[in-house]
Structure 1
Amino acid sequence: MKKLTKLMAILLVLGMVFAMAACSNTAQKEKGEEQPSGTDEGAGEGTAGDLADIIPEETVTLDVYTQLANYSGEQIGWFAQVMKEKFNVKLNIINEGDGTFATRMAAGNLGDIVVFGNDSDEYIQAIKAGLLLDWEEDNLVQEYGPYIWEHMQPALEKNKKISPDGKLYGFGHNVGTSPEEHEAFFYGPFIRWDLYKKLGYPEVNTLEDFVGLLEEMVRLEPTSDTGAKTYGVSMFPDWDGNMVMMVKATGALYGYDEFGFGLYNVNTQEYEDALKKDGMYLRALKFYNQLYQKGLLDPDSMTQPYDAMIEKYQTGAAFFNIFDWMSMGAYNTPKHLEQGKAMLPLAAKDQKNLAYGLNVYGGNRVWTIGAKTNYPELCMAIINWLATPEGTMTSFYGPKGVTWDYDDQGRPYLTELGEACMADGNTQMTGGYSGTFADGANQINNTTWSKDAVNPEASNGDTYNYLRWETRLSRPVSEIEQDWRDRVGALDLNEYLEKKGHVSVALGTTYSEPPKSDELLVVWNQVAETIKTYSWKAIYAKSDAEFDAIVEEMIQKANEYGYQQCVEFQKEQAEKRASLENEVKKLIEE
């Protein structure tokens, strides 16, 4: 008999809680008892009376400082309406601009709801400065976050362990339900399948083979829907961190996960610094430079914002991307599918695409509440609702009964409007909700549960990921999508990559990068700026010789700033990460 570990015991208890909750709901329905309605509905188990007491009579504006937002200003559209209906609040989104964190720290007020991009440096600084609320003070989370308290204990315990004072300040994003499963793949690569088909399905053995393929595609279709010039790839700098985002993320096609100044090979558990000669980062950097030299890289890539980039994928101005939402999600509208056009996955033969293991401890993007808020209970109730099945589904797909619902068998499905919204974010909302789906999307831009966590309200065990729902995979698809299915022998991206063996899994652990010393942080920031600046210069090099010269200068400059200090720090962290992964492996094996 398998040994029941402490973690699996916790998960078993959580499963029993889900089952008991489901039985309770069923019993209520059989007795004819009504569920809480109005602003109380779905806000969290056992909070109906308490929640009614904290809903403000007059609309309140809450400041939501989120380091993950691509938007700044008042939340608009359908999500704003949902927040108004349920909690009588408006959300003022404050994103992360230059100096935003430092300015708010100096003012002594981060906001009402605060979302951190990671659980390391700035998050720890905020705790030490006393600017985050202790969730257990006055039983705040127990009373106003009961769903979180009952179903996310491992994630809450992780948060307490990484807090410098051992107190509970929140939980990390993408909480999972089982360490044995992985999230759906979202790394590609994804290409214009209709053009690939016209070219006769040429063989692609490795990353660099895509250069020639994209060259042929551009020859086939030199202009976009709007008449603009087409390119192989369009990039943007908004999400650059320690390195250029699109470059480092390309390593995911071979099992590499971003890790400080470099990449972590999840298969070998080895750290590879970004500037390693013949390493993955420089290989990917060269790949994008080759595209540029052949006129296949959008020349606006270094300066354009995300919105400008995604519009080019929406209108068919670029043919290759490594993210599913920037490719299939942007391009595969009903109109394009009817025209026999689609972006779909094509893995090179040597790829080992990265997927993230479900993490019962949660990720590193933390939900917290500002210590200076005048509405702690209200903030907690909102975060709690976002963690309920209804809140999770709403945040992903829109209002229940309008864009999604459960069928008579209890299986989740998208309505006709929901399907249209997922295919094209510019779809106009109906059912009493204004604006387009994209305009009204949740601008906090953080998750509670992983999309691939099991939805306890789904009768068939479906996850929150609509792409994998039974009701969706059984539907007929367009002719071009069926061509892809027939060619690869799979129904979707996940089945395709798993069948072909293109799988690398980054196990979910309690690993959290520790804060850096002030001295290291100065070095780190200088090195980061150097690597980003010179990486973009290298991408735009007009020849191989110029590319090599820029890379050499980048290495030299980075070393002058103290790059090796950063590498040594990251090597130590890689050993810790590997050790924690090995613990999870033991749990899975037992």
Structure 2
Amino acid sequence: MKNSKLAVVTAAVLSASLALAGCGGGGGNSANEKDDGSLMKVDVYDDLANYQGVQKGWFAKMVKDKFNIKLNMISPNVAGGGSTLFDTRSAAGNLGDLVITGAGNGRLTKLIKAHLIEDMTPYLKNAKNIKKYKTATDSLNKLSGQSSGVWGVPQSVSTKSPTDPSEGNEPVFGPYIRWDYYRELGYPKFNNLDDFLQVLKQMQDKARAETGDKNVYAFSLFKDWDGNMMNNAKQPTTYFGYDEMGFVLAKADGSDYQSVTQKGGMYEKALQFFNKANQMGLVDPESSTQNYDTMSAKYQQGKILFSFWSYLGPAAYNTTENKAQGKGYMLAPMGDMKIFSYGATPNGGAAIIAVGSKAKNKQRLVNFIDWLYSKEGVYAMAGSVKGMNFDIKDGKPELTDFGKKLQSNKSSKVPAQFGGGSYSDGVSALNFTTELATDIDPDTKEPYDSSMWQSTIDQFSNSALDKDWSEHMDGAKTSMQYLEKADKLMIAPGSSFIQPDESSQISTLRGQVKTEIVNTSWKAVFAKDDNEFNSLMDEMRSKVDGLGFKQVLDVDMKNAKDQNTARVNIKKQFANREKAEGN
């Protein structure tokens, strides 16, 4: 999926940078500091942000009105990626006034030891929202080896059960297809990936015949997100309950763990799927040279028939106008799929928000963080402001006229009283989920996510496309409704497991191995026949074994199994907590 990636920092460089930072010691001021309430520019070091500079628009106005704060985003993703920005600021002893970064790989421990972040405990007297998630902050302490303190608040905390899906109306993973061409074929059934290819071939033939465009393809691929493996090849494995942990594909229920190099394994089957598709003429020949943005433009034009994710094809093409004509991407009903789903995370996720040790007016900053975890803050982080794009009527949330307008145009101009400018430009640049938007507002008994409100579903699931899809998906109004009803979802309980620090030796070996795996994967997809495909895969297995693959695989396999243990434990912990609270 498309996520902002945390900056990757090698253990050696990270240790050196933080050692230098440690020389700067703590700083800032105490809980008794004097704060005159004047406008405060807050530097936010944010490994998740995709924007650099001062926050704009409606979210900026909310923050200024409430806290007289101006957020200045410092984003490694925009500043060239990698660890350079982190290293430079750490060495100077001041990462930022607020810090949003990953807690794993030993980073949180090192940030604390280097005095780059502050214990928030002295500022929490009135922080009822942060206190609400004490189990989550306590879990962070265990991760960082601290016996006390509140050193950060994790992302994506939740009041839901870890066995409830964290997603909204759409799963993170899933096979989406141009439903209009599928409809024209008469809704043929397909039970597996091989059947799926035959249906996609028929869809491609029909689309080309109707449009006269020979550049319509079933698949279009890209390399931007390749990591330990070819990202696109990982996606079909998620349709059968698997997700990655380094070089391991681990099933959500803990029943299976596979090396990506396993002969006949899930990863090889996914590569075979795309290779067969290519041999059938279904793969865009520009796949190996284009980037995500170039590929995404083809979805906007409706030229690609299969989408890996709901935020790709549907987001690009399913406009109000297209849906009214019955055109668009919808979840495909593959017979044997059991889609991997991330469970809700009572103890939060892998990233944290923390206060920098050199920051001024720390109490105000903690108050701001506490607000982010309040109901109003959670709505805002989910893109909603009461009075602007929604109101409460008869105790239930409903979109305003402006909110309805946003359903088809996220760039609509925001009313001046809420800050003006484009709505999309005003969305929180923090790119940090505080409480899950799928959590339930206790007052309305509906999720914070406006797309999940019954009123929204009733109003915006009535297009020709939605109605036809629903009629052929057991009456479901959303993809998640269908998957849950059809028992086609496999939920990985939402633990707060974070990979431990990795040695420099393992990191070095990993870099060499993943280069070989990714490069061979692309060659295998475009192999001219089965013999070439098999030869490439056998050669790849031999090469990575010679590069020390087993040492890295052992680390990843242990992490995958430890993650499953954490998932089992969080289920028990949540059940015990619910029992103790009488729920």
SS at match of 1:286: helix
Query: How do 1:255-404 residues align onto structure 2 when only pairs under 5 Å count?
Result: 255-404=241-390
Query: How do 1:514-529 residues align onto structure 2 when only pairs under 5 Å count?
Result: 514-529=500-515
CA contact (8 A) 2:137 2:152 kept: yes
Q: Distance in 1 between matches of 2:226 and 2:95?
A: 23
Identify which of 198, 201, 226 aligns with 1:240.
Answer: 226
Identify which of 369, 390, 396 aligns with 1:411.
Answer: 396
Q: Distance in 2 between matches of 1:493 and 1:521?
A: 39
**5+ residue gaps, structure 1:** 1-49
* Letter matched to residue 80 of structure 1: A
* Letter matched to residue 497 of structure 2: Y
* Letter matched to residue 181 of structure 1: D
Q: 1:216 to 1:569 in 2, by over 3 A?
A: same
Give the equivalent residue in structure 1 for 2:551.
Answer: 565
- The one-character-per-residue Cα deviations of 1:214-251 (angstroms, maximum 9, x if unpaired) are 333233334999x8933323344443332333332332
Give the equivalent residue in structure 1 for 2:150.
Answer: 168
SS at match of 1:201: coil
Give the equivalent residue in structure 2 for 1:106.
Answer: 91
Q: 1:483 to 1:565 in 2, by over 3 A?
A: same
Q: Distance in 2 between matches of 1:565 and 1:374?
A: 46
Shift of 1:160: 0.9
Q: 1:541 to 1:570 in 2, by over 3 A?
A: same
CA contact (8 A) 1:285 1:539 kept: yes
Q: 1:81 to 1:213 in 2, by over 3 A?
A: farther
Q: Distance in 2 between matches of 1:549 and 1:79?
A: 55
Q: Distance in 1 between matches of 2:512 and 2:376?
A: 44
Of all paired residues, the percent bearing the same amino acid is 32
CA contact (8 A) 1:82 1:399 kept: no
Give the equivalent residue in structure 2 for 1:9.
Answer: none
Identify which of 42, 47, 59 aligns with 1:67.
Answer: 47
Q: 1:555 to 1:193 in 2, by over 3 A?
A: same
Q: Distance in 2 between matches of 1:546 and 1:188?
A: 30
**5+ residue gaps, structure 2:** 1-30, 577-583
SS at match of 2:174: strand
Give the equivalent residue in structure 1 for 2:100.
Answer: 115
Identify which of 59, 62, 77 aligns with 1:79.
Answer: 59
Shift of 1:213: 2.5
Q: 1:281 to 1:369 in 2, by over 3 A?
A: farther
* Letter matched to residue 483 of structure 1: D
* Letter matched to residue 75 of structure 1: Q
Q: Distance in 2 between matches of 1:206 and 1:77?
A: 47
CA contact (8 A) 1:331 1:343 kept: yes
Q: 1:222 to 1:78 in 2, by over 3 A?
A: farther
- The one-character-per-residue Cα deviations of 1:246-268 (angstroms, maximum 9, x if unpaired) are 33233221111221222111224
SS at match of 1:496: helix
* Letter matched to residue 71 of structure 2: K
Q: 1:164 to 1:557 in 2, by over 3 A?
A: farther
SS at match of 1:337: helix
CA contact (8 A) 1:269 1:578 kept: no
CA contact (8 A) 1:342 1:481 kept: no
Which deviates the most, 148-157 or 373-382? 373-382
Give the equivalent residue in structure 2 for 1:485.
Answer: 470
Matched, 1:513 2:504: no
* Letter matched to residue 304 of structure 2: A
- The one-character-per-residue Cα deviations of 1:140-159 (angstroms, maximum 9, x if unpaired) are 3445xx14323211211111
Q: Distance in 2 between matches of 1:474 and 1:125?
A: 49
- The one-character-per-residue Cα deviations of 1:366-405 (angstroms, maximum 9, x if unpaired) are 2223333345334333332221111111222243322223
SS at match of 1:187: coil
Identify which of 552, 565, 570 aligns with 1:579.
Answer: 565
Give the equivalent residue in structure 1 for 2:447.
Answer: 463
SS at match of 1:439: helix
CA contact (8 A) 1:63 1:93 kept: yes
Shift of 1:293: 4.0
Q: Distance in 2 between matches of 1:224 and 1:243?
A: 37
- Taking structure 2 as the reference length, what is the TM-score of the superposition? 0.82
Shift of 1:79: 3.0
Matched, 1:474 2:479: no
Give the equivalent residue in structure 2 for 1:88.
Answer: 69
Identify which of 134, 150, 153 aligns with 2:119.
Answer: 134
* Letter matched to residue 67 of structure 1: D
Q: Distance in 1 between matches of 2:346 and 2:516?
A: 36
Query: How do 1:531-546 residues align onto structure 2 when only pairs under 5 Å count?
Result: 531-546=517-532
SS at match of 1:397: coil
Q: 1:587 to 1:83 in 2, by over 3 A?
A: closer
Which deviates the most, 250-259 or 324-333? 324-333
SS at match of 1:401: coil
* Letter matched to residue 115 of structure 1: I
- The one-character-per-residue Cα deviations of 1:85-104 (angstroms, maximum 9, x if unpaired) are 43330332413303333344
Shift of 1:445: 1.9
Q: Distance in 2 between matches of 1:306 and 1:351?
A: 26
Q: Distance in 2 between matches of 1:345 and 1:276?
A: 29
CA contact (8 A) 1:79 1:398 kept: no
Give the equivalent residue in structure 1 for 2:6.
Answer: none
* Letter matched to residue 344 of structure 1: M
Q: Distance in 2 between matches of 1:365 and 1:430?
A: 33
* Letter matched to residue 163 of structure 1: S
Q: Distance in 2 between matches of 1:345 and 1:436?
A: 30
Q: Distance in 2 between matches of 1:172 and 1:339?
A: 43
Q: Distance in 2 between matches of 1:79 and 1:577?
A: 36
Identify which of 160, 169, 175 aligns with 1:178.
Answer: 160
- The one-character-per-residue Cα deviations of 1:178-219 (angstroms, maximum 9, x if unpaired) are 324222333221111111101110112112333332333233
Query: How do 1:141-160 residues align onto structure 2 when only pairs under 5 Å count?
Result: 141-143=124-126, 146-160=127-141
CA contact (8 A) 2:219 2:305 kept: yes
* Letter matched to residue 165 of structure 1: Q
Q: 1:423 to 1:150 in 2, by over 3 A?
A: farther
Q: 1:165 to 1:88 in 2, by over 3 A?
A: closer
Shift of 1:336: 1.3
Q: 1:91 to 1:287 in 2, by over 3 A?
A: farther
Q: Distance in 2 between matches of 1:81 and 1:526?
A: 47
* Letter matched to residue 155 of structure 2: H
Shift of 1:588: 6.7
